[in-house]
Structure 1
Amino acid sequence: MENRWQIAISAGLLAAVWAGVADAFSLVTWIGFLACSTYFAQTKPGFQGVLISWATNLSGVFWAWIVISGSGYFESPFVGYLLTGIVTAAMCLQASYHKLAFIPGAFIGCCITFAMAGDIANILPALILGALLGYSMTLFTGQLVSLTHKWRTFMGTSNTNKVTAQTNTSE
């Protein structure tokens, strides 16, 4: 991983910014980090990855809402168990639609909703901003990598094989 320093700087700085923004606007910080993780875990680059993250996380929020709402109509916990099984199957089956193919994203959204007891008003802003956080980290890392290459060229140390070899030996 040749660019680990750029990734570390980007992730660290933007994570600190996110924590501050979340605190200032009373957003749930950990939800944003889970949405950011969804962005990095799915395989589509760029803004398309943000859209996949949103679609899958928000589908999970929807499915959890179904379980929470449906369970509330019945006194028996078995209805909740049954709904959980049905929803779990649905989250897996929805992956046949390519925009919802990242199954862990749905499970992350679902788990967030259960953890927040269905508090959609506090879930959605952090979930949406969290995917943008991941995208921003990617963009910022790209800028840092570009600056690093320009700096190395300017300093006459543009031999990336030498840098890669040094990086790999320190693992």
Structure 2
Amino acid sequence: MEHRWQVAISAGLVAAVWAGIADIFHLVTWIGFLSCSTYFALGKLNFQGVVISWFTNLSGVFWAWLVISGSSFFETPMVGYLLTGIVTSAMCLQAKYSKLAFIPGAFIGCCTTFAMGGDIANILPALIIGSLLGYSMSELSGVLVSLTLKWKARA
């Protein structure tokens, strides 16, 4: 990675800002970082990547909510196991649609929802902002690379 310092500086700055904002507004910091990771793992470092991150992460939240809600109607854990299998298949099958094509994003949203016990109100803001964090890191890295290249050209 040729521009490692620029990436490191932008990632550090944006991460610090996010940690502060998350603390002030009582957002779950690690969820934002997972969504940010979805953005980067997707590999589309533009606003389309943000949108696909949102769609895939949020679809995972929906699928987990379906398992949690559906399981609550039955006393046997077997229903939860069955729903988990169906939902896992659905998250893979939904990848047929371009906005839902990044399967790991769906699993990140789903696992986050399970980890948070289905607390959607605390999940959604951090997931949505997290993809924007990734976009901000990417954009700031580009600015820093550009400034570095201009500075080197003058030297």
TM-score class, shorter-chain normalisation, is over 0.9
3-state SS, counterpart of residue 2 of structure 1: coil
Matched, 1:111 2:111: yes
Higher alpha-carbon Rg:
1
Show the counterpart of 2:85: 85
Show the counterpart of 1:47: 47
* Residue 108 of structure 1: how far off its partner (Å): 0.1
* Residue 146 of structure 1: how far off its partner (Å): 0.3
- Structure 1 residues not aligned, in runs of 5+: 156-171
Tell me, in whole angstroms, the C-alpha distance in 1 between the residues paired with 2:36 and 2:8.
Answer: 15
> What letter matches 1:56 in structure 2?
T
Stretches (4+) displaced over 4 A: none
Show the counterpart of 2:96: 96
The 5 A counterparts of 1:18-33 are: 18-33=18-33
RMSD between aligned residues:
0.5
3-state SS, counterpart of residue 75 of structure 1: coil
The 5 A counterparts of 1:144-159 are: 144-155=144-155
Write out per-residue CA displacement over residues 34-86 of structure 1, whole angstroms, 9 at most, x where no aligned residue.
Answer: 00000000032310000000000000000000000000000000000000000
> What letter matches 1:149 in structure 2?
L
Show the counterpart of 1:59: 59
Show the counterpart of 1:122: 122
| Aligned residues between the structures | 155
TM-score by length of 1: 0.90
- Structure 2 residues not aligned, in runs of 5+: none
TM-score by length of 2: 0.99
